[in-house]
Amino acid sequence: MIQVMSTPELARARDSGALVADILASLRTRVEVGTNLLDIDAWTREAIVEAGAESCYVDYAPSFGRGPFGHYICTSVNDAVLHGLPHDYVVADGDLVSLDLAVSLGGVVADSAISFVVGAVRSPKDTAMIAITERALAAGIGAVRPGARVGDISYAIGSVLRGAGYRVNTEFGGHGVGTTMHQDPHVANDGRPGQGAKLQPGMLLALEPWVMADTSKLVTDADGWTLRSATGARTAHSEHTVAITQFGAEVLTALRA
């Protein structure tokens, strides 16, 4: 079932989105060479508690992970791309870090992810790959309008990723958001225009293009959660939660001035 937000729920979704944007922006400036992933997790927990929000991750136990996640943010480094379980690892110069955060504030969820290189950029391919996921995200957002189909978003995202030479994995992708984190519809990162559920005002969607440099195949880490590229290649991931309005898309997790 696809949830449609009421006007009061949409107001809460904006607050939730602003909180996620603020936390990620703050982490983006705090994470440096020498930061432990467990510090990132602790800082996130503090920010969530201080805001009176709830973590969507700590008790999360879906079929694709091993038991409750037990942490407050996903930290995926280098070849890790999704669901990175924070662990005792110190960020090194040139690491490509992806942070993915979902919280519930006032009972409504917002979900966003950013990728960035810490310290010196080792390869221009890293920044190009991050930029492609951001461009694909913008293209997906650009395809959002009432009456459009989920497949239009998937096609817009996939066209950018494929056009840049990446192989697209359609197993994990975007999703509906509402009073819980993962809802219908699934928004694959490639697809056919004109297909899938019709978009209507009040729906919330998390759009999240991600790529791995030379493969579309994932492997699951021994921790039971972290998904890595099968080849060990580096990866990138960008995500925003958008509300469908009568005019198009309102990006809820964009950083406000």
Shortest spacing between CB 122 and Mg ion, in angstroms: 26
DSSP tag of 75: E
Q: Specify whether the CB–CB gap between 94 and 33 falls below 8 A.
A: no
CA angle 24, 179, 255 (to 5 degrees): 25
Residue with Cβ nearer Mg ion (206 or 244): 206
Q: Specify whether the CB–CB gap between 252 and 204 falls below 8 A.
A: yes
Query: What are 198's two structure tokens?
Result: 């019709």
Near Mg ion in 145-164, by CB under 5 A? none
Near Mg ion in 82-101, by CB under 5 A? 100
Q: Is 206 in the site for Mg ion (CB under 5 A)?
A: yes
Task: Kindly give, in sequence order, each residue whose CB lies less than 8 Å from that of residue 101, ignoring residues fewer than 6 positions away.
Answer: 20, 23, 24, 44, 72, 73, 74, 111, 112, 113
* Residue carrying the six token digits 């209507």: 200
Shortest spacing between CB 137 and Mg ion, in angstroms: 12
Residue with Cβ nearer Mg ion (100 or 126): 100
Shortest spacing between CB 124 and Mg ion, in angstroms: 26
Distance, in Å, from the CA atom of 28 to the CA atom of 13, rounded to the nearest integer, reads: 22
Backbone angles phi, psi at 99, to 5 degrees: -115, 130
Shortest spacing between CB 111 and Mg ion, in angstroms: 4
Shortest spacing between CB 239 and Mg ion, in angstroms: 5
Residue with Cβ nearer Mg ion (134 or 214): 134
Query: What are 139's two structure tokens?
Result: 């293209």
The residue length of the chain stands at 257
Size, binding site for Mg ion by CB under 5 A: 6
Binding to Mg ion by CB under 5 A, coded x per residue (else -) over 108-147, reads ---x-x----------------------------------
CA angle 165, 171, 176 (to 5 degrees): 110
Binding to Mg ion by CB under 5 A, coded x per residue (else -) over 19-58, reads ----------------------------------------
List 250's β-bridge partners, or say none. Answer: 243
Residue with Cβ nearer Mg ion (239 or 250): 239
Shortest spacing between CB 119 and Mg ion, in angstroms: 24
Near Mg ion in 226-245, by CB under 5 A? 239
Residue with Cβ nearer Mg ion (41 or 100): 100
**What is the pairing mode between strands 174-177 and 183-187?**
antiparallel
Residues in contact with Mg ion by CB under 5 A are: 100, 111, 113, 206, 208, 239
